[in-house]
């Protein structure tokens, strides 16, 4: 009698591959000025593709953080406890400089190198990238208070993960969080009610009292906080532990029970006479903290690109090793169309994410043209890439059939994570309206955006027609059309980048479907003649 439990026609585990074996990403890394970092990125990719790191990701999600508000004696402690796997993930990320390290690195391309590391390492687990992203993003905002930046920036950029509640100056490395949202205001942060009162007239030290509905990474050391000062909504730096070692008046009320991102802590917080230091000027809190928001928006785009790459490689790997009806799934035309369509979306998102990382790097070095381009391109790309991520994850999951619906596959976790980017740092409407604001109030951003498109014009008639349509759409930038305008701008930019720099089969498929509209409304509706085999090969990992 044959055994009833012989395993066959199942793909091997997707482990022992290099997550950095991604030609779209590596090409962008070199093109955007960070080719010098390739070996480090490949080393991180080898670790990200290893079974050990994948196990850290699983354990961190199956053992979410727990809040301890008091110790056994009744003393308030406000500590967040994590599984050891979380600390392993964080240690690697910090040592690789995926947090604030680029701000202290004088090499051109430092922010691009960091983006590549973030892109490959986030494959292991998305939740721990939140405090990494917050720590990266806080630096440009903190520089509005030069004395505070001088004191804390070296520790925020230090490549040592030093978890625990101690005075910031006594630690070997710091992590940051952000507190903007209140329950009555949401995205309308000007409706915030948290109050900030100066300790002494003319002093930069304030006392904060109020409630925050969402605080990102509440286990961090320093937080950028919005509060109403006498001069209006202002930005403050708030430490969890004061310089004298006493706990600050930052009370963690509860951790949010979230759809995804479950390994990471997000908290509801009360400030009860909490000490904080003014960053920037009173009444200019939004202008100050927007520096932090824009940097985290870049990571939203990178996160979407990472999730798409993870989804399509899982799907392509499964299809390469699974047979049905006498043929490999990958060889069947309809499945090939689905896989290729997913790969096209993934490469387009990767391409634009790294173009934005390059713009960030050059803007940080004083390039005003790149800063203007980034201002508008980041808003529209954040809107569109993050909107695409959930549908992409759902289709990739479906490629595995019932196996993809099972937690052990990792695809449900990917699917739950996908909507976050569209909500984090401004929902879709906020991002689209921000793009509209830039178009109407900062005309230099549109000039820089169209200058970028001009680099590819004349090489593909489908792109030329898309640019012409876009110019027509922008003639009437009405608020009700903001989403449509943002989508058109993002898709046209992706097309231009692929036509200039992408693989010919990928660029042609994108132009035919996304620019010329030769497709259905679901993935897998590519036109006849698409070079699916070449596209799928770029997404199939080599074990």
How do the domains of the chain map onto residue ranges?
Answer: 23-283, 296-539
Euclidean distance between CA atoms 359 and 377, whole angstroms: 10
How many whole angstroms from its chain centre is CA 251? 28
pLDDT band at 195 (very low <50, low <70, confident <90, very high): very high
* pLDDT over 80 at 112, yes or no: yes
Q: Is pLDDT above 70 for 1?
A: no
39 pLDDT band, cuts 50/70/90, is very high
Least Cα distance to 456 among 408, 412, 500, 404 occurs for: 500
Residue 452 CA, distance from chain mean position? 23
Number of neighbouring beta carbons within 10 Å of residue 258? 15
CA 406/CA 383 separation, integer angstroms: 30
Asked if pLDDT for residue 2 goes beyond 80, the answer is: no
- For residues 441-464, average pLDDT: 96
Q: At 292, list the tokens.
A: 């932090």
Residue matched to tokens 């409304």: 521
pLDDT of residue 101 exceeding 70, the answer is: yes
Mean pLDDT of 433-447: 95
Q: What is the DSSP letter of 169?
A: G
pTM to 2 decimals? Answer: 0.96
Could you tell me where the DSSP H helices lie in 49-145? 51-62, 84-95, 110-121, 129-142
What is the spatial distance between Cα 342 and Cα 337, in angstroms, rounded to a whole number?
Answer: 9
**Residue 54 DSSP SS3:** helix
Q: Report the residue count for the chain.
A: 543
Question: What was the pLDDT predicted at 187?
Answer: 78
Average pLDDT, the chain: 95
Q: How many CA atoms lie within 13 A of 33 on its CB side?
A: 15
Topology match between the domains 23-283 and 296-539? no
In the prediction, which pLDDT does 68 show?
Answer: 96
pLDDT (average), residues 150-173: 97
Note the pLDDT tens digit of each residue in 458-481.
999 999 999 999 999 998 888 999
Model confidence pLDDT, tens digit, residues 481-501: 999 999 999 999 999 999 999
Is residue 315's pLDDT more than 80?
yes
Residue 4 confidence (pLDDT) above 90: no
Q: Is 9 helix (H, G, I), strand (E, B) or coil?
A: coil
What CATH class is the domain 296-539? mainly alpha
Residue pLDDT, tens place only, 196-242: 999 988 789 999 999 999 999 999 999 999 999 999 999 999 999 99
Report pLDDT digits (tens) over 343-364: 999 999 999 999 999 999 999 9
pLDDT at 172 over 90: yes
Choosing among 3.40.50.300, 3.40.50.720, 2.40.110.20, 3.30.43.10, the CATH entry for 23-283 is: 2.40.110.20
Quote the CA–CA distance of 12 and 14 in Å, as a whole number. 6
pLDDT higher than 80, residue 186: no
């Amino acid at each position: 009698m044959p055994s009833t439990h012989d395993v066959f026609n199942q793909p091997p585990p997707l482990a022992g591959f290099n997550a950095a074996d991604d030609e779209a990403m590596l090409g962008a890394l070199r093109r955007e000025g960070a080719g010098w970092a390739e070996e480090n990125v490949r080393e991180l990719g080898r670790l990200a593709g290893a079974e050990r790191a994948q196990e850290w990701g699983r354990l961190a999600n199956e053992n979410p953080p727990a809040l301890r508000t008091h110790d056994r004696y009744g003393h308030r402690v406000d500590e967040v406890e994590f599984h050891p796997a979380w600390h392993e993930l964080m240690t690697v990320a910090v040592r690789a400089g995926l947090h604030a390290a680029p701000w202290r690195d004088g090499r051109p391309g430092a922010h691009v190198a960091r983006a590549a590391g973030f892109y490959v390492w986030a494959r292991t687990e998305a939740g721990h990238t939140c405090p990494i992203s917050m720590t990266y993003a806080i630096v440009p905002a903190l520089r509005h208070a030069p004395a505070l930046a001088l004191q804390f920036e070296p520790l925020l950029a230090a490549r040592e993960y030093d978890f625990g509640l101690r005075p910031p100056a006594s630690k070997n490395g710091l992590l940051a969080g952000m507190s903007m949202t209140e329950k009555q205001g949401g995205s309308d942060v000007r409706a915030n009610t948290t109050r900030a009162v100066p300790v002494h007239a003319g002093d930069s030290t304030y006392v904060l009292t109020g409630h925050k509905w969402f605080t990102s990474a509440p286990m961090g050391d320093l937080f950028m906080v919005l509060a109403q000062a006498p001069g209006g909504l202002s930005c403050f730096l708030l430490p969890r532990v004061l310089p004298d070692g006493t706990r600050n008046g930052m009370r963690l009320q509860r951790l949010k029970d979230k759809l995804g991102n479950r390994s990471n802590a997000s908290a509801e917080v009360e400030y009860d006479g909490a000490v904080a230091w003014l960053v920037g000027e009173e009444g200019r809190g939004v202008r100050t903290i927007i520096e932090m928001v824009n940097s985290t928006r870049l990571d939203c785009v990178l996160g979407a690109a990472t999730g798409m790459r993870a989804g399509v490689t899982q799907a392509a790997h499964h299809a390469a090793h699974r047979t049905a009806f006498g043929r490999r799934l990958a060889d069947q035309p309809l499945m090939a169309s689905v896989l290729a369509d997913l790969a096209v979306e993934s490469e387009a998102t990767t391409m634009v994410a790294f173009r934005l990382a390059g713009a960030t790097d050059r803007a940080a070095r004083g390039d005003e043209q790149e800063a203007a381009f980034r201002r508008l391109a980041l808003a529209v790309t954040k809107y569109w890439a993050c909107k695409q991520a959930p549908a992409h994850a759902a289709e990739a999951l479906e490629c595995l059939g019932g196996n993809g619906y099972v937690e052990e596959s990792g695809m449900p976790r990917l699917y739950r994570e996908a909507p976050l980017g569209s909500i984090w740092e401004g929902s879709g409407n906020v991002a689209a309206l921000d793009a509209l604001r830039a178009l109407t109030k900062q005309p230099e951003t549109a000039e820089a955006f169209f200058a970028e498109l001009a680099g590819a014009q004349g090489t593909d008639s489908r792109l030329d027609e898309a640019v012409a349509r876009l110019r027509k759409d922008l003639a009437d930038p009405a608020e009700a059309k903001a989403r449509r305008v943002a989508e058109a701008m993002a898709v046209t930019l992706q097309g231009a980048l692929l036509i200039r720099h992408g693989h010919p089969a990928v660029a042609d498929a994108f132009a035919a479907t996304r620019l010329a509209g030769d497709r259905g409304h679901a993935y897998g509706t590519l036109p006849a003649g698409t070079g699916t085999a070449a596209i799928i090969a770029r997404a199939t990992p080599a074990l």
